Structure 1
Amino acid sequence: MRAELPDERGKKRASGESRKPRSSRIRIIGLGNGMRGDDAVGLLVAHRLRQEIGDRVDVIEAEMAGVDLVELMKGANVAILVDAARSGQAAGTIHRLDGSAGSISAPIFPRSSHAIGTADALELARAMGVLPATVIVYGVEVENTEVGRPLSSAVAKVLEQVVGRIVQDCEACRA
């Protein structure tokens, strides 16, 4: 079962569809796989943010981004990434990491569904000289990423909290 999200006109669209990046100072990139339960968390947060602040920032829902994440970040001054995390903490735990300060912990962001992990993509962008000046990475601890499973209640409970934190980050970056 694929996570389906209503588009701006109320119709359904697959969560993997994304808009081409425009020249926006702030770019939010939600990562995940809409068919794998909690792994859809980045996509769901991005969709919510598009509804709330999509007229002021660039929001991309990137399913299976991997190395393409480098290209998606290119040209932004600020990149805010949202992805599923697995560090062993309780499902629903929210991590906020500064990806521009240096390497982030690769084990938190496994490679399984994106070919290379979020941490690897950030290091590649850094090596290529295309990493945005500010990179904020949100990782939400997941419980279940099996194909066809729904979002767990632990992850569903923190979606709005992540959205709120990212809205605050965007406001701080505009100041």
Structure 2
Amino acid sequence: MAGKVQERKEKLRVTLIDVAQNQIVSGGLASLKARDIARQAECALGAIYNVFDDINALVMAVNGRTFHALGADVTAAVEQAQGQSPNAQLIAMSKAYLGFAVDNTHLWRALFDLDMSVESQVPDWYLAELGQLFAHIAVPLAQLFPDLPEAELDLMVRALFSSVHGIVLLGLQNRISAVPRDQIEMMIAQVLNQVG
């Protein structure tokens, strides 16, 4: 009997993640409402909380899928850029990052819009995915700066990621401070070509 209960719970878990993902895709993180999720998943409102501690935990499950897809895109770009200069490798990764953000804007934004800090309970898989992304960036940077101490290299990795992320974020916003969308790639390349 316990096996069937667990099986139903896992099926509901997948359904809830699917529904939440679809809601985020269509309307962004702000559109996510527990009542709408329950209605679309054809379950009671309380059933959501039998599977997930709260809506943030559900969003984290969606983010897990998103991070995995983003990681696959960046990894593919790294593999295609093998043998190129370190700067070209960094630019290839940034193009993959930008392409993913453009193609999956709401899901990509949900990775960063979820209220989460260093002090909060961040799942190990989330830190591992982020670490993998940073590890890809660290490889060409270590080639450019072979004598840089590890702590400084880590800081540079985070600085470059933040720079590219900021350019992409501003480029995808419809605000007066936004980077012109057709120039995002060029701006990223200008920044990354100055490294080393």
> Do the structures match in fold with TM over 0.5?
no
* TM-score where L is the length of structure 1: 0.30
* TM-score where L is the length of structure 2: 0.27
Higher relative contact order (CA 8 A, sep 6+): 1
Higher helix fraction: Structure 1 or Structure 2? 2
Q: Which has the larger radius of gyration?
A: 2
